[in-house]
Structure 1
Amino acid sequence: MKESLAAPAPVVLGIDDLRELPRATRIARTSREGIRLLEEYGNRFIDELWLDHDLGDDDTIMPVVALMEEAAFNGQPFHIGTVFVHSANPIGAETVVRSLTHWNYRVQRATV
């Protein structure tokens, strides 16, 4: 008798200072926490990564974007199915989309 193996639960990470992101399996609230979260996942596949541009006070998602760009530049991009950018800041969101698209990450603008 064969045992059926359940498919692993999708990995959905979010970096957002306020939103709950109900689909997220883990949430980081600052760019520093976001960097640690991505580094923790390293080479593992991330099904979805949800990014907010403005993270409170003077913090933004740009240090996380820089980490992702650097990884791609070094030939070791993070393994992410889709990056969703969901920001109330249209200029910031477009900057993130353009930057990550340039490095061949699959990126979409989204609303939460």
Structure 2
Amino acid sequence: IGRQVALAAAANLTPVTLELGGKSPAIFDPSCDLDAAVASVAYGKLLNAGQTCIAPDYLMVPRGQGATIAAKFAVAIAKLYPRLGDNPDYTAIVSERHHRRLSDMVAEAREGG
């Protein structure tokens, strides 16, 4: 009976594509060009609102450079999307309900430390 099942299944195979995205760190070496690295990572993270399988999820930066790199990200993002709020080339949250849900998640994460 196993052979019959295998033949029946083979006659009905459907091709599929699997999305195998995972956590994608961006690692900043102490010798890297910070401006170039930040510009590249900001572009990669914001492309399609970060909804790509290779969008960076977190940064690993040299100790003591977090604030500097965060400030450089603010500049890079403003350069890419100077009017993010009403920019037709960028996506948005689809409804007020989803916006509240996401805002609640951020608040919960902040409260949890």
Q: Same fold by TM-score, threshold 0.5 exceeded?
A: no
Larger strand percent: 1
TM-score (norm 1): 0.36
Between Structure 1 and Structure 2, whose CA radius of gyration is higher?
A: 2
TM-score (norm 2): 0.36
Larger helix percent: 2
